[in-house]
Structure 1
């Protein structure tokens, strides 16, 4: 079955196996279908939860930084060999920053951690269900429509 998620420009999705992408997409689709049966308050509560969800980049950054600091601390206490751990972690973080993907991202991805684009896609689907975008006027000129669209996108 082909996915409805067409974010082909996303380096993480491109380098992630179809099975992992499908599992993440299925989870999003199931959640949106479930939320379609809920009231506005429940959707709003879930949107607040999504606002706090850590994305893949944040997870990789924190994990690599923690391992790097750990390697430095252990290296200062127990010798130079531990500093290699810091170097490897920093190198993997650099690779992720330059390429948008790397081995750390692959591990985190398999655990089901989503990209910011994937989280935002779910948020916008839920905002549409909640009716946020119905407030955009069809009249009133381009400036009024643009302002209403910006307000709706932030709510």
Structure 2
């Protein structure tokens, strides 16, 4: 399953180091393979619920950046202007993220293993395909073939 996620046009993924992308892809492949081997619909449904609540890069940046900017403003009120500078820089980086779709903060958050919404959705659709929600996944060929077919189907 070496090429299932190579066609991404996601700005965050495009600008992230390839080692980070490969690590995240390997995690997705591992989870999908595990679900294919177990073939337990109830476990797949439970895992899908977990994925449904997973924070993506943009949500993590919005919450984390806002909290950092707010903390800088509050601390700057008591301790001086250096903290306000932190708020200004953070807000500038959030603005860059919003306009371009990526920035230094997204690279930092990405390094922590936080995925893009598209990557989370790809895994969700692959698990749904394994669970039998779609007709394109063959029932024969073993867990690895089914996992690969599910990842390819999720991307199309």
Which TM class, normalised by the smaller chain length?
A: 0.7 to 0.9
- Paired residue for 2:79? 78
* Structure 1 runs (4+) greater than 4 angstroms displaced: none
CA RMSD for the aligned pairs? Answer: 1.3
- Normalising by structure 1, report the TM-score: 0.83
Is 1:95 the equivalent of 2:114? no
Could you tell me how far apart the structure 2 residues matched to 1:114 and 1:121 are?
A: 11
- Normalising by structure 2, report the TM-score: 0.82
Q: Counterparts of 1:1-155 in structure 2 under 5 Å?
A: 2-38=2-38, 39-134=40-135
Deviates more, 1:3-12 or 1:58-67: 3-12
By how many angstroms is 1:37 displaced? 2.1
Could you tell me how far apart the structure 2 residues matched to 1:100 and 1:7 are?
A: 17
Instruction: Structure 1: state its 5+ residue gaps.
Output: 135-155
Bigger radius of gyration: 1
Q: Which has the higher contact order (CA 8 A, sep 6+)?
A: 2
Instruction: Structure 2: state its 5+ residue gaps.
Output: 136-156
Aligned residues between the structures: 134
Could you tell me how far apart the structure 1 residues matched to 2:67 and 2:7 are?
A: 30
Q: Determine helix, strand or coil for the equivalent of 1:63.
A: helix
Could you tell me how far apart the structure 1 residues matched to 2:117 and 2:107 are?
A: 15
By how many angstroms is 1:81 displaced? 2.2
